């Protein structure tokens, strides 16, 4: 899509459900100017801060290093002398300069200097690598308004609060910006927050209407505005402020804030005013001072040193007692028994008149003389081994990902030895065990199941049954039929569908061809994707907010329904005409879009076709959609539900597709109410919009269901099987529903044949009845009791099978139950049950719950824990673990870099690896 075409497209029409104006009512805007809301920014006047005596804000350079030139020696020396042996040799080295020393001072100090120096050099080199990364980030370039409407490239570190910057497509935001305008007329832009929350789905941001017309460089020649907002804080998802522009006060919300390290996508450019810079930005505010971490081996070695020192001191003390006694009796009848010590020439060391002092000094001498008992070279050996281990990790061919040409990278070597002590692995699922790359693989249309492909879960189910895989035979047969066509074209990302009844236009011969046509027409129209046309090749790609949505549009295109252009209020498609069997152009007038969110669990579009029919097209979760069907729209309900359950058992994500035709009067009434709700400036705006949408999304006619697969990473089942056989416990923490998580567990060998499952959930009829009544206190009490009873029952099962060494158990718990299981009076019981199980799956768990579970395992079991994740949304879990492994791959590399930055800035308190997604499948994890 060209820039000119973009500027004619007002995306606020497409996202009419989500784009809402900020309101001064019912929020924190009344606190602006008070404590915590005192920041004042003069846009396009950065010099005004100094002239007017306003606070001189932080510059935009960031530092993620552990040391500076001023702090390197004191901090590094402190780290070195925390080691007991080093401190001992420091003391003995100091004493070596006295007459007590039985050897020269150089022989005592030189080894210590070499050991300490080598370790400090290693620390310095690792910190220098971080410094280079900081320099690279701080010297990134962005266009900044200088004067007279001219924008010039400036290094990020020179960006100041109040500057107007121009960020272009696929560039990162250099600071926290207030969105003023974009290449779209209504100041809308797409933002990828992968570096912040790990999600590749695009987020929509929209500037204020009063600044949306500032689309050219020269428009900022005389631009002036004053922003009053909250002070710097760590909350990524809140922003309170107001902007005085053209003598009007406009409320600001998080919808206008673009966070540092987010990327501009699917938008030619944006103009923004710098609000927070450097360490005031929200992503850096989330970091803390780097903790000083030490491995368990190093701590244990200190305890060994203490033990050796006790023996050493005992030897010196006993020897000194005998020396004192002998010194006291040295003169006998005027003769010196130990004449060779010449006690007559000694002032104190061998003075028979002062035996106590002689014994004390002898003790100090003995401590130095027996110093070889403390192995100073041990620390040198360990440091050398750590460095060599890091080199071996980086060069290990088994951890090299050929497709991306990326090796594993051990970013630091401080905790290498912990990798051999891992007792429990806690892993994210999506993007870690699975690829987070959705593929359209099956569908159910008019009660008929289409799609002959087999999922990883189905193959695993066949293997569990101990029979040859029927699905694999089907795949081989199908592959023979279509291999010729596959050789002629490249594999299509997001599309893994094979069924001769549907492909190549054969659907026109199916009994319900009209329903199939409506099904794919819904897929090609009901979405918010934007087509991108390659001007050289003419190929169309799609920018979508989720991989699921992109897979649907691609599948529709491959099956004869191509979406190729979006206008201001229209959609243009090429559709296969069942009569002429040729592609014809269709135009749909876009009237409204009711966007998907977590509470609605569905999205709808209302369009008018070329025949003047007004259609409501809806897709959503089965739990929501089936109850909205009309009496005459349930013809295929039974078969579709059966297929949906089969797809869920196969580990697929499903959506129900339905539609209805609206008459003109009904739509007019809805549109009036919807427009009123959308334009209402009130804290209840979202609720009113949802109520209006609720009334129109009913009496639907069922068309069918889609099924997409999030495929497993290569080699994951084999890797998990090897880890389990090694006695390492594996926990999977996922946001998926329980059925999908269980099936993925079987597919990746986390759950095995013959393994008994202990399932803890809150889906009992009693609790569901209480939820309908809405009594929160009663629900919480009953839920707590239910979880406690289920944990007790699970523990009883384990006790009953205690004598059977061949019986393995798996614990599966949902997010609601987990919230109660992690309470103080119950978490120890839950942990005791969990650590006795071979595998644990926590379903529907939030990021906070992931972190709490990891902390519980680490502190309660007192075993080494390793957490694996693919993005910054897993930071909570990874920072709680002893060891953190970051997966880098198609979408995770930037996340690894940001996690590294958090690690260096202190959010990370565990060891960090950055490796490629293929590595999880290897045996060298």
Q: Supply the residues annotated as catalytic.
A: 428
Query: Is 483 a known ligand-binding residue?
Result: no
428 known ligand binder = yes
Q: Return the number of other C-beta atoms located less than 10 Å from residue 617's C-beta.
A: 24
Question: CA distances (Å), 440 to each of 302, 559, 642, 744, in order?
Answer: 57, 11, 19, 17
The response to whether 342 counts as a known ligand-binding position is no
Length of the chain: 925
635 a known binding residue?
Answer: no
- What three-state secondary structure class fits 349? coil
Q: Is 413 helix (H, G, I), strand (E, B) or coil?
A: coil
Q: Give residue for tokens 């971080």.
A: 130
- CB neighbours of 114 closer than 8 A, spacing ≥ 6? 380
Which tokens belong to 215?
Answer: 């689309």
233 is in an annotated binding site: no
Binding site annotation covers 402?
A: no
Cβ atoms of 730 and 720 within 8 Å: the answer is: yes
Residues 64 and 901: beta-carbon distance below 8 Å: yes
Tokens of 337: 């028994």
Whole-Å CA distances, 68 to 74, 120, 133, 180, 294: 10, 13, 15, 37, 21
Q: How many Cα atoms are found within 13 Å in the side-chain-facing hemisphere of 156?
A: 25
Per-residue DSSP letter, 10: -
Alpha-carbon distance of 258 to 175, in angstroms, equals: 8
Tokens of 194: 């992968």
DSSP conformation letters of 367-401: HHHTGGGS-THHHHHHHHHHHHHHHHHHH-GGG-B
Consult the annotation and say whether 668 binds a ligand.
no
Give which of 222, 234, 244 is closest to 178, Cα–Cα.
244
Burial of 276 (0-12, 13-18, 19+ CB in 10 A): buried
The reply, when asked if residue 736 is annotated as ligand binding, is: yes
Whether 870 has a binding-site annotation, put simply, is yes
Q: Is 549 annotated as a binding residue?
A: yes
Provide CB contacts within 8 A for 622, sequence distance 6+: 641, 644, 654, 656, 705
Q: How many CB atoms lie within 10 A of CB 34?
A: 9
**Any known ligand binding at 863?**
no
Asked whether residue 596 is marked as a ligand-binding residue, the answer is yes
3-state secondary structure of 39: strand
Residue 291, token pair as written in the block: 């903790």
186: annotated binding-site residue?
Answer: no
Contact (CB, 8 A) for 900 and 912: yes
Q: Is 281 marked within a binding site? A: no
The answer to whether residues 166 and 269 touch, using CB atoms and an 8 Å cutoff, is yes
Query: Is residue 653 annotated as involved in ligand binding?
Result: yes
Binding-site sequence positions for Mg(2+): 428, 430, 870, 874
Binding-site sequence positions for ATP: 428-430, 549, 596, 619, 653, 734-736, 844, 850, 873-874
Binding-site sequence positions: 428-430, 549, 596, 619, 653, 734-736, 844, 850, 870, 873-874
């Amino acid at each position: 899509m060209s820039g000119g075409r973009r500027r004619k497209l007002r995306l606020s029409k497409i996202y009419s459900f989500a784009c809402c104006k900020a309101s001064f009512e019912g929020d924190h805007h009344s606190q602006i100017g008070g404590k915590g809301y005192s920041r004042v920014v003069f846009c396009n006047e950065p010099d005004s801060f100094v002239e007017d005596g306003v606070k001189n804000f932080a510059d935009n350079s960031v530092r993620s290093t552990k040391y500076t030139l001023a702090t390197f020696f004191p901090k590094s020396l402190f780290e070195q002398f925390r080691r007991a042996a080093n401190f001992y040799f420091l003391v003995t080295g100091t004493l070596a300069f006295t007459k007590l020393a039985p050897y020269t001072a150089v022989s005592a100090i030189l080894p210590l200097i070499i050991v300490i120096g080598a370790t400090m050099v290693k620390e310095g080199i690792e910190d220098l690598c971080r410094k280079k990364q900081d320099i690279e980030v701080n010297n990134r370039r962005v266009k900044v308004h200088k004067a007279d409407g001219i924008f010039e490239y400036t290094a990020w570190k020179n960006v100041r609060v109040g500057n107007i910057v121009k960020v272009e497509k696929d560039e990162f935001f250099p600071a926290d910006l207030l969105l003023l305008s974009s290449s779209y007329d209504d100041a809308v832009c797409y933002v990828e927050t992968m570096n912040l929350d790990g999600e590749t789905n695009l987020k929509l941001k929209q500037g204020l209407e009063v600044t949306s017309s500032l689309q050219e460089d020269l428009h900022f020649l005389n631009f002036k505005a004053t922003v009053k907002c909250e002070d710097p804080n760590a909350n990524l998802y809140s922003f309170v402020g107001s902007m005085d522009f053209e003598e009007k006060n406009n409320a600001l919300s998080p919808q206008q804030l673009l966070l540092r390290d987010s990327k501009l996508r699917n938008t030619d450019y944006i103009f923004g005013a710098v609000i927070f810079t450097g360490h005031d930005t929200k992503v850096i505010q989330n970091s803390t001072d780097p903790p000083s971490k030490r491995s368990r081996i190093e701590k244990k070695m200190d305890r060994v040193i203490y033990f050796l020192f006790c023996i050493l001191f005992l030897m010196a003390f006993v020897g000194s007692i005998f020396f004192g006694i002998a010194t006291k009796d040295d003169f006998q009848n005027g003769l010196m028994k130990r004449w060779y010590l010449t006690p007559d020439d000694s002032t104190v060391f061998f003075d028979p008149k002062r035996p106590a002092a002689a014994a004390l000094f002898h003790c100090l001498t003995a401590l130095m003389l027996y110093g070889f008992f403390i192995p100073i070279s041990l620390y040198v050996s360990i440091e050398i081994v750590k460095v060599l281990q890091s080199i071996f990790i980086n060069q290990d061919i088994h951890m090299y990902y050929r497709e991306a040409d990326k090796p594993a990278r051990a970013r630091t070597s401080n905790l290498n030895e912990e990798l051999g002590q891992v007792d429990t692995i806690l892993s994210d699922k999506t993007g870690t065990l699975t690829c987070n790359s959705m593929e359209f693989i099956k569908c159910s249309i008019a009660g008929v199941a289409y799609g002959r492909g087999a999922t990883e879960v189905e193959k695993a189910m066949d293997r569990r049954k101990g029979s040859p895989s029927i699905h694999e035979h089907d795949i081989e047969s199908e592959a023979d039929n279509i291999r010729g066509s596959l050789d002629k074209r490249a594999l299509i990302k997001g599309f893994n569908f094979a069924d001769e009844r549907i492909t190549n236009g054969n659907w026109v011969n199916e009994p319900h061809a009209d329903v199939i046509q409506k099904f794919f027409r819904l897929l090609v129209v009901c979405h918010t994707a934007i087509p991108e046309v390659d001007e050289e090749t003419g190929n169309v790609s799609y920018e979508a907010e989720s991989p699921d949505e992109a897979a649907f549009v691609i599948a529709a295109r491959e099956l004869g329904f191509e979406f190729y252009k979006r206008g201001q209020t229209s959609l243009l498609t090429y559709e296969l005409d069942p009569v002429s069997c040729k592609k014809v152009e269709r135009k749909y007038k876009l009237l409204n879009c009711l966007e998907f969110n977590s509470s609605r669990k569905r999205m709808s579009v209302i369009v008018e076709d070329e025949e003047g029919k007004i259609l409501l097209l809806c897709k959503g979760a089965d739990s929501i959609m089936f109850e909205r069907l009309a009496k005459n729209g349930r013809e295929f309900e039974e078969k579709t539900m059966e297929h949906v359950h089969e797809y869920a058992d196969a580990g697929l994500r499903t959506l129900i597709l339905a539609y209805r035709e609206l008459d003109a009067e009904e739509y007019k009434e809805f549109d009036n109410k919807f427009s009123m709700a959308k334009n209402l400036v009130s804290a209840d705006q979202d609720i009113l919009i949802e109520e209006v949408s609720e009334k129109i999304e009913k009496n639907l006619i069922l068309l069918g269901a889609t099924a997409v697969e999030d495929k497993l990473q290569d080699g994951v089942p084999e890797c998990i099987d090897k880890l389990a056989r090694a006695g390492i416990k594996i926990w999977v923490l996922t946001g998926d529903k329980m059925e999908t998580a269980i099936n993925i567990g079987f597919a990746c060998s986390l759950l095995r044949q013959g393994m008994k499952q202990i399932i803890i959930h809150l889906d009992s009829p009693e609790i569901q009845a209480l939820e309908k009544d809405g009594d929160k206190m009663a629900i919480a009490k009953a839920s707590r009791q239910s979880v406690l009873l289920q944990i007790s029952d699970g523990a009883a099962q384990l006790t009953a099978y205690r004598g059977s060494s061949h019986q393995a158990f798996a614990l599966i718990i949902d997010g609601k139950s987990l919230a109660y299981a992690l309470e103080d009076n119950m978490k120890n019981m839950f942990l005791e049950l969990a650590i006795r199980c071979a595998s644990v799956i926590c379903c529907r768990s939030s990021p906070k719950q992931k972190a709490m579970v990891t902390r519980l395992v680490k502190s309660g079991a007192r075993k080494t824990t390793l957490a694996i994740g693919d993005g910054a949304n897993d930071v909570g879990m990874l920072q709680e673990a002893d060891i953190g492994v970051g997966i880098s791959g198609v979408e995770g590399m930037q996340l690894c870099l940001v996690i590294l930055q958090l690690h260096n800035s202190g959010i990370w308190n565990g060891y960090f690896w950055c490796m490629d997604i293929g590595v999880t499948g290897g045996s060298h994890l």
